[in-house]
Amino acid sequence: MVVDLCDYRALLDEPGAAYDAVVSVEMIEAVGAEFWPEYFRTLDHVLVPGGKVALQAITLPHDRMLATRSTHTFITKYIFPGGALPSVRAIEEVTARHTALRVSDDLAIGQHYATTLRLWDEAFVAAAEEVTALGFDETFARMWHFYLEYCRAGFTAGYIDDHQPDADQGEPMTAPTTAVAETLAEALRPFIGGDLPVRLVAWDGSYAGPEGAPVVEPALPRRAAAAAVAPRRAWAPPRPT
């Protein structure tokens, strides 16, 4: 497995169609409403044909999202500066307007979130001494306790909710990135003029090439995956940096 720490927008400069699925849990709230089109374009770009997006987002009813979008709340001032909660309708409209993605399913779990917040708050309050020992003062502790309970009240009352929409491009998956090594070896053949002289071991555990040959693990899975799942596209080895 490879973990890349990067801004999501950097992926728009990478070859697309690199992932079978994208799971994005409560990140859309942090990116800011003006970046929602770019955020969804990125998800659309990185997905293989037939791939799936699974989102989780804290949401507002659409009318409340519109009414409060230029106001400052306790949350935007003290907890998540720059953040903005979408509505499910906003997610559907932005994906429809800016991407090939369409929301295909949705699950609301806000009442479970209220329980989670109660448990988080109880654990936080019970750990008051450890919190102080970590260097957080009483002002912070009171603010954090208020934040957890404020959000719990919002979920309990149904003013905010938590949704898990799925989205896809409405196509069947043509070439899953599982067992990528064979597909990648196929894509490499024109460049090396024949069969692999090495044993290619891909990030999904699949392999291609002769047993006993030196093992090569692709170090740039996103680029390699783009070639493996979209062999129609011309693929060249990455330029040295």
Ligand X SMILES: C[S@@+](CC[C@H](N)C(=O)[O-])C[C@H]1O[C@@H](n2cnc3c(N)ncnc32)[C@H](O)[C@@H]1O
Interface with ligand X (CB under 6 A): 7-8, 25-27, 30-31
Nearer to ligand X (CB atom), residue 83 or residue 176 = 83
Smallest distance, Å, CB 180 to ligand X? 25
Nearer to ligand X (CB atom), residue 7 or residue 34 = 7
Quickly count: other Cβ atoms within 10 Å of residue 71's Cβ.
Answer: 7
Smallest distance, Å, CB 185 to ligand X? 32
Q: Please check whether residue 169 is in contact with residue 101, taking contact to mean a CB–CB distance below 8 angstroms.
A: yes
Smallest distance, Å, CB 11 to ligand X? 9
Task: Tell me which residue has tokens 């989205």.
Answer: 167
Nearer to ligand X (CB atom), residue 66 or residue 107 = 107
User: Which residue out of 28, 84, 151, 160 is catalytically annotated?
Assistant: 151
Smallest distance, Å, CB 84 to ligand X? 12
Nearer to ligand X (CB atom), residue 30 or residue 157 = 30
d(CA 202, CA 68): 48
Q: Is 6 one of the catalytic residues?
A: no
Nearer to ligand X (CB atom), residue 155 or residue 235 = 155
Smallest distance, Å, CB 46 to ligand X? 13
Which residues are known catalytic residues? 151
